[in-house]
Amino acid sequence: MNIPDINLKRIVIIGGGFGGLRLAKKLTTQNFQVVLLDRHNYHTFQPLLYQVATAGLEPDSIAHAIRTIFAKKENFFFRIANVEKVDTLDQKIYSDIGNIHYDYLIIATGSETNYYGNENIQKHSMPMKTVPEALDLRSLILQNLESALLTNDLDERYRLMNYVIVGGGPTGVELAGAMGELKKHVLPNDYPDLDIRRMNVHLIQAADRLLPTMSHNASDKARKYLEELGVQVWFNTLVKDYDGIHVDTDGKDLKATTLIWTAGVKGAMIPGVGNDENAKGGRLLVNEFNLVKGYDNVYAIGDIALMITEKNPQGDPMVAQVAIQQGQLLAKNLNHLKSGKPMKPFKYNDKGSMATIGRDKAVVDLPGWKFAGWFAWLVWMFVHLVSLVGFRNKVIALMNWVVQYFQYNKSVRLIIRPYRKKH
């Protein structure tokens, strides 16, 4: 790679998600050369991917070009790269754009969809972890309705109009809500020659409530809001298999062309880092300074990192806030390396959690205050607008939400690139 050789220690960050981005921003590049690698040339605001999938937002609202963010930063280098493996003895990263040496390595690769080893589900279901995946899902949702118009086989038509979402966490709940809105308010106008009442959105949850990491109040409200939108919620139900048509659960007879899998994530591991103990649950064990166990110059932050302490034997949840706070602290700690200041240990400051259901409802759990409904939706919207990277993204997302609030029909139901099954 064509990176100037200067007399600075080189920090290589793999991954421009919430953690990697914050870390790169806060690192003082008088002390280091910083190299950021990512598969894409943009940062993805993952919490809003479901809105891209359901045609509420375009990618430009939730993606932000990484180069633009760092336009003014000295000693900073960004490269699009797929990292293939790391040689920690040689301190070298192998990638599709060549090899690169590091002095400090930060693994901020986040998480990927976890199918728990079920190859059928992996093959036939739709994931929603990246912008292209969300766009594929959007295309498929619309394509299936177009196909439903063309068939006279009623079984096939209803299969095409059945959308099964597996996983009752925030992603599954928010996606189900947006699909419910489409069904209730948007699609009947778009498809007057199709009986949209026969369209079904199923949300399948293994636990006995939705949003199990939130309060019971939030779970109950989320369920209520979803059911008002016509979403069918199934509790205590495991999806064991899926062949592209039959959803194999205990007892339910579901047939669906589209199954969206949001039922699990695991760390996006990189070959060469970690060992059996480290890779437990697909995450890297780190100490309270985010140093990966067994290394002295390899750190991990965000979803990929599992920080188990006496006080916190479960580790922190795999959410954006943890990644951001770890990135922030690690930057500070690394900036202080030269001056010999001691590193500060990480402690997660839980600011609360929230989820939106449909166009104008949300559930919010703040420390000490739990509420739901329209005001919660305003809070949700405000928090997400503030968190979006970049002025343009904020303005465009806000405008889309405002327009859609007053007029359902203004979403962008475009099949730009038709989705074709790869098998």
Query: Who contacts 137 (Cβ-Cβ below 8 Å, separation ≥6)?
Result: 53, 126, 128, 260, 419
Q: Which is nearer to its own copies, 238 or 399 (CB)?
A: 399
Nearer to its own copies among residue 89 and residue 416 (C-beta): 416
Please state, in angstroms and rounded to a whole number, the distance separating the CA atoms of residues 250 and 283: 30
Taking the complex as a whole, the smallest distance from the CB of residue 1 to its own copies amounts, in Å, to: 6
Q: How far is the CB of 59 from its own copies (least distance, A)?
A: 6
Question: Burial level of 127, CB count in 10 A (0-12/13-18/19+)?
Answer: middle
Q: Which residues contact 170 (CB under 8 A, 6 or more apart)?
A: 47, 211, 353, 355
Q: Which is nearer to its own copies, 337 or 412 (CB)?
A: 412
- 310 counts as catalytic: no
Smallest distance from its own copies to CB 11, Å: 17
Length of the chain: 423
Output the smallest distance, CB 247 to its own copies, in A: 26
Do the Cβ atoms of 351 and 24 come closer than 8 Å? no
63 or 273: CB nearest its own copies: 63
Residue closer to its own copies (CB basis): 73 or 370: 73
Q: What are phi and psi of 55, to 5 degrees?
A: 65, 20
Q: How far is CA 23 from the centre of its chain?
A: 19
C-alpha angle 112-48-411 in degrees, rounded to nearest 5: 130
Which CB atom, from 149 or from 238, has the smaller least distance to its own copies? 149
Q: Would you say 109 and 270 are in contact if contact means Cβ atoms under 8 Å apart?
A: yes
Spatial distance between the Cα atoms of 79 and 37, rounded to a whole number of angstroms: 5
Q: Are 20 and 14 in contact (CB under 8 A)?
A: yes
Among 58, 112, 174, 181, the one annotated catalytic: 174
CA distance linking residue 34 with residue 185, whole number of Å? 48
Q: Which residues bind its own copies (CB under 8 A)?
A: 1-4, 40-42, 58-60, 63, 65, 67-68, 71-72, 77, 79-80, 97-98, 131-132, 135, 142, 146, 149-152, 189-193, 391-392, 395-396, 399, 403, 409-410, 412-417
User: What is the smallest separation between the CB atom of 162 and its own copies, expressed in angstroms?
Assistant: 18
Q: Please, what is the minimum distance in Å from the beta carbon of residue 289 to its own copies?
A: 31
Contact 60, 393 (CB under 8 A): yes
Residue 216 beta carbon to its own copies: minimum distance, rounded to whole angstroms = 39
Considering beta carbons, is residue 289 or 408 the nearer one to its own copies? 408
Contacts 24+ apart (CB under 8 A), 118-125: 118/240, 118/241, 120/241, 120/242, 120/243, 121/239, 121/241, 121/242, 121/259, 121/261, 123/423, 124/242, 124/243, 124/244, 124/259, 125/166, 125/242, 125/259, 125/260, 125/261
Question: Are 303 and 318 contacting, i.e. CB atoms less than 8 angstroms apart?
Answer: yes
Nearer to its own copies by C-beta: 131 or 179? 131
Residue 28 and residue 339 in contact, taking contact as beta carbons nearer than 8 Å:
no
Sign for the pseudo-dihedral over CA of 399, 404, 406, 407: positive
Q: Rounded to the nearest whole angstrom, what is the least distance from the CB of residue 193 to its own copies in the complex?
A: 6
**Residues annotated as catalytic (active site), given as ranges:** 174
